[in-house]
Amino acid sequence: MISSKKTPIRYQSELVHQFSQLIDQESEIPWDKHPLSLEGGPQELSLTFDERAHHFKPQYSIAPTSEDIARLAAPSKPANLLVVPRLTSALVDACKKERLSAADLNGRVYLRGPGLLIDRRAQPGRDFRFDLEPRNVFVGKSVRIVRTLLTDPQRNWTQAELVKRSGASSGLVSRITTHLLRQGLLKKVDARRFFVTTTSLLLDAWAEADDFPRRVSTHRYTALNAEPLNLARSLRNALVHSPDAPLFAFTQWTAAWLRHPYTEPPVVSLYVSRLPSADVIEKLGLRPVSDAGRVWFHIPTDEGVFLERQTVETLPLATDAQIYLDLLNTGLRGPDQAQALREWEGFCRP
Query: Residue 176 maps to which CATH number?
Result: 1.10.10.10
pLDDT value of residue 33: 67
Please report whether residue 3 resides in a domain: no
Same-domain pairing of 96 and 175: no
Which residue, of 100, 130, 160, is where some domain finishes?
A: 130
Q: Residue 330's beta-bridge partner residues?
A: none
pLDDT value of residue 38: 60
Measured in residues, the chain has a length of 350
Report d(CA 104, CA 158) in Å as an integer.
Answer: 32
Same-domain pairing of 290 and 339: yes
Q: How close are the terminal C-alpha atoms of the chain, in Å? A: 53
Report d(CA 84, CA 63) in Å as an integer.
Answer: 7
What Å distances lie between residue 67 and 8, 80, 95, 98, 343, CA to CA? 24, 15, 11, 11, 30
Please report whether residue 84 resides in a domain: yes
Same-domain pairing of 216 and 339: yes
What Å distances lie between residue 165 and 19, 160, 161, 337, CA to CA? 41, 9, 6, 28
Same-domain pairing of 74 and 179: no
Same-domain pairing of 123 and 224: no
Q: Residue 299's beta-bridge partner residues?
A: 217
Residue 60 lies in domain = 8-130
Same-domain pairing of 337 and 222: yes
Are 36 and 43 in contact by the 8 Å Cβ rule? The answer is yes
Same-domain pairing of 171 and 276: no
Please report whether residue 44 resides in a domain: yes
pLDDT value of residue 2: 42
Same-domain pairing of 70 and 112: yes
Which long-range contacts (C-beta less than 8 Å, at least 24 apart) are formed by 240-245?
Answer: 242/276, 242/277, 242/279, 242/280, 243/277, 244/277
Please report whether residue 151 resides in a domain: yes
pLDDT value of residue 310: 97
Number of domains in the chain: 3
pLDDT value of residue 4: 43
Report d(CA 65, CA 71) in Å as an integer.
Answer: 10
Which residue, of 180, 209, 238, is where some domain finishes?
A: 209
Please report whether residue 349 resides in a domain: no
Which residue, of 164, 186, 209, is where some domain finishes?
A: 209
Q: What is the pLDDT along the chain (350 residues), one digit of tens a residue?
A: 344 446 788 888 899 989 988 888 888 888 886 766 666 678 889 888 878 889 999 999 988 888 889 899 988 777 899 999 999 888 898 899 899 999 999 999 999 988 889 999 998 888 888 876 777 889 999 999 999 999 999 999 999 999 999 999 999 999 999 989 988 899 999 989 999 998 998 999 899 889 999 999 999 999 987 789 999 999 999 999 988 889 999 999 999 999 999 999 999 999 999 999 999 999 899 999 988 899 999 999 999 999 999 999 999 999 999 999 999 989 899 999 999 999 999 999 98
Strands 8-9 and 31-32: unpaired
Q: Give the Cα-Cα-Cα angle 190, 194, 199 (nearest 5 degrees).
A: 150
Same-domain pairing of 220 and 334: yes
